[in-house]
Chains A and B, each alone.
Chain A
Amino acid sequence: MFSQRVDRILKASILGGGAVLTVGALVLYFGMRNDVTDVGYRPQQPVPFSHKLHVGELQIHCQYCHAGVEVSEHSPVPTTSTCMGCHIVIKAESPKLQLVRDSWEKGIPIQWRRVHKLPDYVHFNHSRHIRAQIDCQSCHGNVEIQGVIAQNKPLSMGWCLECHRHPEKNIVAARPISGIFTGEQLPENYREHLFEPINSNLVQGVALRVRPISSPQFGAWETDVPTPTVAGIPHPKLPGYGPENCSACHY
């Protein structure tokens, strides 16, 4: 046994060590989240390109440069020729565009720094989301007021799921500036119609009527989740909602 002083020191150090560990764990847990570590990622790009100027002031649609995003899994980074389409005449002598002109002449692509990056095992399909009239801003933030582009959302799986579960709370509806055309001019009150499938009687009615996925004979928890089926097999995606099954994004 030790002296009373050592006893007190030991007890205090155990309590103190526990407290330090707890605080450390909490700091790690909350500090390592994507919305802390990744949001605001703003790398210096080789060319001082301003989205604020091009989108915000010049009102160029997103799809003008990121062409083909509505039919592709990926949103393309514009080629040098897209830039030069205008800049061959506009600001043709600007020293800021020297790198673009070099790239144009030598045929070597500009090495843009990628900002939004998902892990390899996640398949995010741009075209599906655009066809659902989800505006670019939902995931990329207010691009038209940003000079140098930055990551605006955490892009974590929880963030994806949050929107798949509650699209009506998270999605910014398609705006004309994004260039998401649905074939006809949007009416003034277009926002009210954007989530028609979700708010429609179809879904509401289904949600009320449909029995739980699993029969309650095994003690299944009663659920009001509707079960759309394809050829009798429950389909994981509910109309209007994003799918929540693993293989929707990890395939």
Chain B
Amino acid sequence: MERTRKVTKSNIPPAHDAMEQRPVATVAEFRDVNALVAAARAVYERGYTRFDCYTPYPVHGLDRAMGVRRTILPYISFLGGVTGLASALLLQWWTGGYDYRLNIGGKPFFAIQFSVPVDFELTVLLCAFFTLFGLLGLCKLPTWWHPLQGDTSFRRATDDTFVVAIFSDDPRYTITDTEELLRAMGGTNVHVHTAPATQSAILQPVTTPSDEQ
């Protein structure tokens, strides 16, 4: 399976000294959203796995074009909801119905009916927490550092520029071919972002498992 192949560094020459500048990624700017989607699809179809698109807002269909597999976040959230519901029921039954039964106005010590508000609230609360932390976990955030952070194009990706970056630790990465591909797909200002060798050795993993279809 090509897309899930383990990332190797075989095609990057070894660094001679720490200050040597080595390529981190080839970066291309796109101004048109349709060209961006086409480019992402082309990069994906060429078999690249270590690439990413940086956009100022979510572009519909771009994730699909990049071959990103559907997120597992809903399952995490669901787990949170189930945990919340179970803990709410357990809490109310155990405290009121088991640990300290207190007769208040002859009401039942525990009943599904009166437990509904707290059940609901805790379900929502834990579901929201799981969603938040699941999202942060899946995106590996917070990470206050990015291999491309010095790059001018990359910095404009939060403003008005679409950026496609193919990382140098991709098995298919070669400086000439990658640059050619991005240019052919209509990318402007195609350039190689470099960084000192020490830094690029600890590239942030940006790849999620790709779609195998």
Interface residues of A (CB under 8 A from B): 1-4, 6-7, 10-11, 161, 213-214, 218-221, 223, 225, 234, 236, 244-246
The verdict on A225 contacting B101 (CB below 8 Å), with A4-B202, A219-B112 known, is yes
In the bound assembly, the distance between CA atoms of A121 and B127 in angstroms comes to 41
B146 and A234 contacting across the interface, CB-CB below 8 Å: no
B82 CB to closest chain A CB, in angstroms? 22
A4 proximity list for chain B (CB < 8 A): 145, 199, 202
Check B110 for interface membership: any CB of A closer than 8 A.
Answer: yes
B143 proximity list for chain A (CB < 8 A): 7
B100 and A221 contacting across the interface, CB-CB below 8 Å: no
- Most chain B CB within a 10 A radius of its CB, from A4, A223, A236: A4
B123 CB to closest chain A CB, in angstroms? 19
Contact of A11 among B110, B112, B142 (CB under 8 A): B142
Contact of A223 among B109, B111, B113, B199 (CB under 8 A): B109
Check B108 for interface membership: any CB of A closer than 8 A.
Answer: yes
25 A–B pairs (Cβ distance < 8 Å), ordered by A = A1-B144, A1-B146, A2-B145, A4-B145, A6-B144, A6-B145, A7-B143, A10-B142, A11-B142, A161-B100, A214-B107, A214-B109, A218-B108, A219-B108, A219-B113, A220-B108, A220-B109, A220-B110, A221-B109, A223-B101, A223-B109, A236-B103, A245-B102, A245-B103, A246-B102
Contact of A1 among B102, B106, B108, B145 (CB under 8 A): B145
Check B4 for interface membership: any CB of A closer than 8 A.
Answer: no
B103 and A213 contacting across the interface, CB-CB below 8 Å: yes
B100 proximity list for chain A (CB < 8 A): 161, 244
B199 proximity list for chain A (CB < 8 A): 4
Check B188 for interface membership: any CB of A closer than 8 A.
Answer: no
- The 0/1 profile, CB within 8 Å of A marked 1, for residues 139-152 of chain B is 00011111001000
- Most chain A CB within a 10 A radius of its CB, from B97, B113, B142, B144: B144
Give 8 closest A-B pairs by Cβ, nearest first: A220-B108, A7-B145, A219-B111, A214-B108, A1-B149, A7-B144, A221-B97, A221-B110
A161 proximity list for chain B (CB < 8 A): 100
A-facing residues in B90-131 (Cβ within 8 Å) = 93, 97, 100-103, 106-113
